Chains A and B, each alone.
Chain A
Amino acid sequence: MPVQCSSCTKKRAVLKRPKTGHSLCKDCFFWAFEEEVHQTIVSARLFNRGETVGIGASGGKDSTVLAHVLKVLNERYDYGLKLLLLSVDEGITGYRDDSLETVKRNQQQYELPLKIVSYEELYGWTMDAIVKQVGLKNNCTFCGVFRRQALDRGAMMLKVDKICTGHNADDVAETVLMNVLRGDIARLRRCTAISTASEGEGAIPRCKPLKYTYEKEIVLYAYFKKLDYFSTECIYSPNAYRGHARTFLKDLESVRPSAIVDVIHSGETLSVKEGVKMPVQGTCSRCGYISSQALCKSCVLLEGLNRGLPRLGIGKHHRLHGKILAQQPLTQQEERKLKAIDF
């Protein structure tokens, strides 16, 4: 028996919205989906007319849908934004090759300028080369740290005012849960923010227009719009906490579909006691990027790679920062500790 669309009450429904449970026809779903992103952009005042906005494009579903929707909304509502795609080439054979091809196709389809920044050009190291030195166990640390800066540096080259990323509601809810499991109160408080203001010189404001969009609806949207995306998770597994949080969130969603938004609501409304210490943000004395230490994470990692001491960036070796900055040699004992790495 065909179900009628609950919105237009005329056409046949083709899907049941994971977020609200309503049955909608294709057009009404597209409209609701886009309108919701528009509402988010307007109510959170994410952009100002005339701004250049870099869309962090990985070729995956989230950023592909984000690029598409932003392009549509920019025209429909005349935001007056200059949109461009920003991609990072980590230098992972077989992973990025295909996804970058997708981004390049998106560039043509959406007629948006594209800038690809590679780890190799920024840091002198590809992820493949890093994996050779640090092994598979710790490479996510490198990848994550480098990627964050790579987007910023790419954005700076292109004189971008804001970066937006494809983080969706599931990602945000998952992060809330993960920070509770880790007891990371500072991140717990920050992680539901829809945008980060510019903190220091090295960082460009970032925002998440898909913050309230369910991952499942992103897939539905891409499916019905026949959007071309590259569906591969990073070949390196996410960290343990995130893995647990993700599984838990999926289970919560299956018990009560609103749980994703409910967790975000919790994150947005919880309040942290005054007097709980929050790390102070400063800048890296080598590259100027935001950092709570004398050296930013990526400079430490790079130093470790370049000196053949990969452990330098993995453990907590803050007291060595002074030595590194002053380009002093490390003691033999220090070297021994930093060299050993388990694969």
Chain B
Amino acid sequence: MCQVDEEYNGHLEKISLPTLSKKCVKCKDGTAVLIIRVGDAFCRDCFKEYFIHKFRAMLGKNRVIFPGEKVLLAVSGGPASSSMLSQVQEGLSRDAPKKLRFVPGIVFVDEGGACGLSVEERQRAIAQLESIFREKGFPYHVVHLEQVFSLPGSVLEAVSSAPEQPGSSYKAAVDQFIQNSRGEHGLMEPSVEDAESGFAQLSTQDPTYPTEHRLALERLLASVRTLTAKEDLLQTLRQHLILHTARVHGYTKVMMGDSCSRLAVKLLSSISLGRGASLATDTGFSDTRYGDVVIVRPMRDYSSKEIAFYNRMFNVPSVFIPGLDTKTPEKASIQRLTESFVTKLQADFPSTVSTIYRTSEKLHSARTPQSAITDLTSKCLLCMCAIDTNTEEASAFNAILVSERLSQSGLRETAPHTQAQALPTESPGQCCSSGGQGQGCGSGDCCSSAQSSVTPDLKGLLCYSCRLTIKDMTAVETLPQYIMTEAEKRQRRLRMKMEISEFLLDDEESGE
């Protein structure tokens, strides 16, 4: 049908390359070397100042990192996270009062085992990164993806953090910090020692991983039918490893290097993957889904172009490591497709990324009910965001359940042309029918019958989007043990809750 039902007549902003002005717009003196936005031509020094200022401003505006706090920098070797690393180093080396006052460490997740890299290629990449990390002088942790097979179930437990009141507690922490640093000369010093002892520990650590874990990873990836689901799963496992590393070493914040270009792609692919409810968590400055460890994204104001310029101009080293979708065709996965779509659109309409990015700032993460902190069954087993399948009766989630049920044998409750009134209401939150076969949970008693199976059914424990990922798997039992163990635990809890449901007073509403 004709789609002009809306009054959209804003014209897309066409690309227009301004003639390069000779002088810097800021100091009016230096020779302009690059143009950030239309009309903003900067000289080298002013660009550096602008770039550095932006990092500090982002942290200053959000005030979530406390002085003296241990912060883990997640570095992938790519331009954005490498640039973030250089910004932290820059910030720590400044004179007070502009000095950053947290204690950094680095984590690198070696995903070579999932991306078809040889042992030598992986070792070479790690060696390159290690030399960069050593030069920074921060303690670092190299984690191999294979290590997911030895993670403890506790990773998936969201630990509630102390209630945060941004203003007051931040100020208290600053005061505390200033008092402390008056006594001992320079609180930053111990971090250097830390770094050295850190090296000692880490360099003696055996860099290999047991063969059984390597094979387990191969089996896991082989059971995922689509690249879309593989990428999604890899992202989840990577986050779990980073989270675990942070907890084990006492880091309470993790910095991720997502640029605004990256976040625009992430926002759009999240929408396409059914992650609408988690958009704000996935793309916002701070991400509190894990409770005790908070993810922050301080690079979110930089475009990938700015980062590339900065890195080149100021010799920020980065290491290219092929990923899962490197050299795959455009339509290989939803994530890959979204990336190429945004990149192309950005080339024609330079406001694309910033427009999508601005959308992310207006979004809100679905509020987790108070009980969610103690009741893990309301959080997704995999991505740990609030479960979003308790939708209204008329919803996309229920519509697709109805479609699946109506297309399968034996599940057809009424013959055509009979007077069936409204079908039984789905109770998706409690739906736990067999996962692998993709059967809908039509009959009310399915939950009791499917329990004894060896493989726990994950569907009822997952958010909408993670269900899609699991649906693309042929063998759910290839998932790492910590996930399966936690799944069983949560299922037992769900079953218990169902048995006693009629005696429980609904506290979800009063909690808000």
Contact = CB atoms under 8 A, between A and B. Distances in A.
Contacts of A187: 6
Nearest to A90: B2
Interface string A28-55: 1011100110011011110000000000
A43 B393 CA distance: 6
A254 B419 CA distance: 37
Contact of A22 (B2, B4, B394, B408): B408
B8 interface: yes
Nearest to B365: A271
A225 B468 CA distance: 32
A263 B331 contact: no
Nearest to A185: B362
B276 A266 contact: yes
Contacts of A310: none
Given A7-B412, A43-B398, A255 B406 contact: no
Interface stretch (A114-122, A155-163, A174-182, A280-288): A174-182
A87 interface: no
B402 A6 contact: no
B270 A266 contact: yes
A94 interface: no
B1 A171 contact: yes
Contacts of A124: none
Nearest to B268: A180
A177 B364 CA distance: 18
A20 B403 contact: yes
A306 interface: no
A171 B407 CA distance: 23
Interface string B216-247: 00000000001010000000000000000000
Contacts of A264: 396
Nearest to B8: A239
Contacts of A145: 7
Contacts of B276: 265-270
B9 A7 contact: no
Contacts of B363: 270-273
B407 A17 contact: yes
A196 to B, nearest CB: 12
Contacts of A233: 2
B260 interface: no
Interface string A106-130: 0000000000000000000000000
Contacts of A8: 409, 412
A8 B304 CA distance: 54
Given A183-B356, A263-B271, A141 B334 contact: no
A82 to B, nearest CB: 20
Interface string B342-376: 00010000001001101100111110000000000
A240 interface: yes
Contacts of A182: 8, 10, 355
B3 A242 contact: yes
Interface in A249-296: 251-252, 254-256, 258-259, 261-274, 276
A263 B272 contact: yes
B357 to A, nearest CB: 9
A258 to B, nearest CB: 7
B391 A269 contact: yes
Contacts of A323: none
Contacts of B70: none
Interface residues of B, number: 71
Contacts of A148: 5
B507 to A, nearest CB: 22
A319 interface: no
Given A147-B2, A256-B228, A181 B356 contact: yes
Given A22-B408, A43-B398, A241-B12, A259 B272 contact: yes
B92 interface: no
Interface stretch (A56-64, A197-205, A325-333): A56-64
B21 interface: no
B279 interface: yes
A322 interface: no
A135 interface: no
B101 interface: no
Contacts of B417: 76
Most-contacted residue by chain A among B359, B417, B468 (CB, 10 A): B359
A268 B333 contact: no
Given A180-B268, A271-B366, A236 B407 contact: no
Interface in B382-437: 388, 391, 393-400, 402-404, 406-409, 412, 416-417, 419, 421-423
A273 to B, nearest CB: 4
A165 B9 CA distance: 23
B395 A268 contact: yes
Most-contacted residue by chain A among B276, B334, B345, B400 (CB, 10 A): B276
B342 to A, nearest CB: 9
Most-contacted residue by chain A among B272, B333, B337 (CB, 10 A): B272
Given A7-B407, A182-B355, A263-B272, A58 B267 contact: no
A77 interface: yes
A32 B337 CA distance: 31
B356 A147 contact: no
Given A62-B1, A233-B2, A180 B271 contact: yes
Given A187-B6, A268-B276, 7 more contacts: A7-B409, A9-B409, A17-B407, A144-B4, A177-B271, A238-B2, A276-B362
Q: Which 8 A-B pairs have the closest CB atoms?
A: A266-B276, A144-B4, A44-B394, A262-B274, A22-B407, A212-B399, A234-B2, A270-B276
Interface of B: 1-12, 226, 228, 267-268, 270-277, 279-280, 331-334, 337-338, 341, 345, 352, 355-356, 358-359, 362-366, 388, 391, 393-400, 402-404, 406-409, 412, 416-417, 419, 421-423, 464-465, 468
22 contacts: A6-B408, A19-B403, A20-B404, A20-B407, A31-B416, A36-B406, A176-B271, A177-B272, A234-B2, A239-B8, A251-B337, A252-B337, A262-B273, A264-B396, A265-B388, A265-B464, A267-B276, A269-B391, A271-B280, A272-B364, A273-B280, A297-B7
